[in-house]
Amino acid sequence: MGAIRKSFVLSYLFLVVLPVFALLGILKYGRHHLTAPLAVGGTWKLQSNLIPSDSAACGSAFGSLQDTSLVISQSGKNLILTLPTGLREEATGLIQGGTLTASFFPIDLGSSGASASCDSGGAIALTATVDENATPRSFSGTLSILGCDSCAAATVRAVRRTDA
């Protein structure tokens, strides 16, 4: 009878107590060393001078992004940005610390009259800093066409809509 009880106690220690202590240790470590990314999901209102003054062709690439709504879906640090209409309907991005980066899929600017250096197309890159202390939350940054040095970056500001 003593051997069965000893076997039961050892089994209980290894199969219950040890895993519980391991789980508690992992949770304690995570509480002190892991931080959740900034929450940026929701509907945002883009406000900006999205038509750069140096090139109307570059401005037409940004035209659909001026004064529109932007929906951000977030899973952890990964983002999907969706526009209701226009040249770019969806983008992928990341939030790291207070910096939001996203890339709208490549386009062909050749038909819009952009310079020859831009006719191979390029993604529209969004780089912004999120103001986590603002109420409602906002971000500001730049939009630029990657690989097109003749198109100046346009400034962008967005405010999260609280009614959506």
For residues 62 and 118, what is the distance between their CA atoms, to the nearest angstrom? 14
Q: Identify the helix (H) or strand (E) that includes residue 78.
A: strand 78-82
127 and 106 inside one domain: yes
Do 16 and 54 belong to one domain? no
Whether residues 29 and 58 share a domain: the answer is no
User: Are residues 69 and 129 located together in one domain of the fold?
Assistant: yes
User: Of the candidates 156, 5, 23, which has an alpha carbon nearest to the alpha carbon of residue 83?
Assistant: 156
Both 8 and 61 in a single domain?
no
Question: Would you say 89 and 64 are in contact if contact means Cβ atoms under 8 Å apart?
Answer: no
Domain count of the chain? 2
Residue 146 has pLDDT above 90, yes or no: no
What's the CATH code of the domain at 90?
2.40.128
Arithmetic mean of pLDDT, 54-66: 59
Residue (of 121, 100, 98, 123) closest to 111 by Cα position:
121
71 lies in the same domain as 101: yes
Please answer whether residues 80 and 73 qualify as being in contact, where contact means their C-beta atoms are separated by less than 8 angstroms: yes
Question: pLDDT tens across 87-129, in order?
Answer: 556 889 999 989 999 988 755 444 444 444 454 456 788 899 9
Residues 87 and 143 in one domain: yes
64 and 26, same domain (yes or no)? no
Q: How confident is the model over 77-97, as pLDDT tens digits?
A: 999 998 776 555 688 999 998
Quick one: 28 and 46 in the same domain? no
- Cα–Cα distance between 133 and 145 in angstroms, integer? 29
Residue with tokens 């040095």: 149
pTM of the model: 0.70
For residues 101 and 120, state if they share a domain. yes
Range of the domain at 88: 42-160
